[in-house]
Amino acid sequence: MTEAAELLARRATLAPATADPEARTVEVVWSTGAPVRRRDMAGQYIERLSLAREAVDLSRLEGASVLDAHRQGAVGDVLGSVRSAAVDGKRGTALIQFSARPEVEAVWQDVVAGILRHVSVGYSVEEWTETSENGARVLTAVRWTPHEISLVPTPADPGAHIRMETEMTDTTSTVAANNAGQSHSDIVEPSNDVQNRTSTVPEGNDATTRAATNTEIRSIARVAGLDQSWIDGQIDAGADPDSARRAAFEALASRSAPTIRSEQVRVEVGESQDDPALRARQMGEALYARINPRHDLSEPARRYAYSTPVDMAKELLTLRGESTMALSPASLVTRALHTTSDFPIILGDTVGRVLRDAYQTAPSGIRRLGRQTTARDFRAVNKIMLGEAPLLEKLNEHGEIKTGTMAEAREAYKVETWARKIGITRQVLVNDDLGAFSDLARRMGQAAAETEARILVTLLEAGSGNGPTMSDGKTLFHADHGNKAGAGAAISDATLSAARLALRTQKGIEDRTIRVTPRNLLVPPALETTAEKWLATIAPATATDANPFSGSLNLVVEPRLSSATRWYVSADPGEIDGLEFAYLSGSEGPQVESRSGWDVDGVEIRVILDFGAGFIDHRGWFMNAGA
């Protein structure tokens, strides 16, 4: 007894019959629900997509982009768009339209020619069901959303392709199987023309015969649904049509389940929330938010929003694999300080945030009058000042243009390191005394700002109040520099006018008037009220009552000035060189370092400030010793 099985042969042209060259559209099958082997943290599994109408949400696919191999990093990755999409329970289909851009034309021509025929769908899954088949884990997407369709070299779903079946014709072939253990019979095609094509070996030379045989092997493979590797194996083995048919039948008989295609897993590595440095920043930010409720806590740090230092110490120890059972709060803090570097980093991060807040808000009058810059290292910072550009001269009758020169001057200063160490005791951490914690950090921030201000004031008042010695061997404020009042006098119309005149008539390096504009009046606290009166805006009844300095000068009060009578007028630091201060490059402001304490029972916090200042030019400052 034999049983006959019918095979449906589909002959087709390579070009997709659904392509519309004018509309640049083509129909595609974007999924057949074929199983795909994947891997997750639990191991390998088989993924299936349910194509039931209620399982697939097509709202995002209709009108979505057609991409180049799922790439979506640039507009150039878009090849076209999805005009319509549908599912019928067995497969998902769509009508896609290709762009008319020149760079897409080559892709469209390959599609029309049948060279590019594979597609793949990009999707997200909202709900899975898990089953087991033959000991394998199977995950079926029962609620999912396709987002885009891509042209790909090799699809995960072997049935996902550009539709060609409208140009296909069906023929029926009969496969005879011997149930009594006899040899397999040949694949027999009933049509006479087909019989002649498949069973008769063409006459001619060997090359012609081999070519006809290879064509027949490829036809058998298409009928049986076998891949290119099977075809290559038969051709390389020199098989004839009869042996190829027997091999095809054996391949069909051994195929008891749908082919499972494996897809390479793409892993994208992002920022790990378990990274020690990242976790330390999140814990430090959470502690800072408890100290400063106005701080908008970032989403990753919210998990530590209500954690105490003891809670954080316990988590750090647990993450390191250490047992925390039966440990007191004091023991938890002690172990965290001495067994992991994360805990001191967390506290140092919090101290740094509070310290910088206090540093930035600390008042510093004289700092407003200087220009900030950076230094690459601790060597002297040499500042070269160019003189005025040479004036233009009238050309003589020969048209000769003369060469001009520019004079220059040089001043120097250097950045130095200023530091202090403080301790946060274990008792403060165990008691969660954030008030003492923040107060200590705040005071250190204010101390850093105070250090900078004192350096600047000391520089200004050097040389018995005449300022530092410049490169010309004279002090900053000197009669020869034209920026020092001949006799001290109180603030008045006359003295302010003299200061303004002195700056307006300053001579440059080329001994030409450079017209410096006064902008600031710097006074000690004792002269603040007097200065406010002379700078006040009033509504005069007569011209003689007008205040000529109203709104023309900005009042700057510096409480660190040692003289109660001396006052200064300065230009805008952006207009002309004058007072300049610098930080080490990459270390602007105070820097905080922390470690487990040895001199204190807790954490040691070290505050470092790399800062330096100097006067680059004397022409933007005027000093009056006062009276």
The DSSP secondary structure of 417-438, one letter per residue, reads EEEEEEEEEHHHHHTT-HHHHH
Question: Both 150 and 212 in a single domain?
Answer: no
Residue 475 lies in a domain: yes
Which of 255, 285, 311 lies at the terminal end of a domain, its last residue? Answer: 255
Residue 149 lies in a domain: yes
Q: CA 348 → CA 241, 375, 606, distances in Å?
A: 80, 26, 9
Strand order in the sheet with 518-523: 554-557, 518-523, 567-571, 621-624
Question: Both 159 and 186 in a single domain?
Answer: no
Tell me whether residue 390 is exposed, middle or buried, using C-beta atoms within 10 angstroms of its C-beta: 0 to 12, 13 to 18, 19 or more: middle
What sign results for the dihedral spanned by CA atoms 147, 151, 154, 157? positive
Residue 305 lies in a domain: no
Q: How, if at all, do strands 169-178 and 92-98 pair?
A: unpaired
Which residues, 6+ apart, have CB-to-CB distance to 188 below 8 Å? 173, 174, 175, 176, 195
Q: How many domains does the structure of the chain reveal?
A: 3
Question: Both 150 and 251 in a single domain?
Answer: no
E strand residue ranges, 78-181: 78-87, 92-98, 119-133, 136-151, 161-162, 169-178
Question: Both 198 and 139 in a single domain?
Answer: no
Which of 105, 136, 163 lies at the terminal end of a domain, its last residue? Answer: 163
Question: Both 592 and 454 in a single domain?
Answer: yes
Report whether 383 contacts 582 (CB < 8 A): no
**With b meaning 16 or more CB within 10 Å and e meaning fewer, what string describes 244-270?**
bbbbbbeebeeeeeeeeeeeeeeeeee
Which residues, 6+ apart, have CB-to-CB distance to 507 below 8 Å? 482, 513, 514
Rg of the chain's alpha carbons, rounded to an integer?
Answer: 43
Question: Both 546 and 514 in a single domain?
Answer: yes
Q: Which of 510, 626, 509 is nearest to 569 (CA)?
A: 626
Which of 255, 280, 311 lies at the terminal end of a domain, its last residue? Answer: 255
- Please work out, in degrees rounded to the nearest 5, the angle formed at the alpha carbon of residue 575 by the alpha carbons of 586 and 614: 50
Report whether 40 contacts 79 (CB < 8 A): no
Question: Both 134 and 198 in a single domain?
Answer: no
Which residues, 6+ apart, have CB-to-CB distance to 145 below 8 Å? 56, 57, 59, 60, 61, 123, 124, 126
Question: Both 99 and 217 in a single domain?
Answer: no
pLDDT of residue 529: 93
Which residues, 6+ apart, have CB-to-CB distance to 457 below 8 Å? 366, 558, 560, 561, 562
Measured in Å, how far apart are the chain's first and last C-alpha atoms? 131
pLDDT of residue 509: 76
Question: Both 603 and 502 in a single domain?
Answer: yes
Q: For the chain, which ranges sit under pLDDT 50?
A: 1-15, 165-204, 256-257
E strand residue ranges, 249-300: 261-262
Question: Both 437 and 540 in a single domain?
Answer: yes
Q: CA 466 → CA 32, 434, 487, 566, distances in Å?
A: 89, 46, 13, 11
Residue 11 lies in a domain: no
Task: State how far the Cα of 111 lies from the Cα of 407, in Å rounded to an integer.
Answer: 72
Q: Which domain holds residue 606?
A: 408-624
Question: Both 62 and 106 in a single domain?
Answer: yes
Residue 447 lies in a domain: yes
Question: Both 218 and 136 in a single domain?
Answer: no
Residue 367 lies in a domain: no
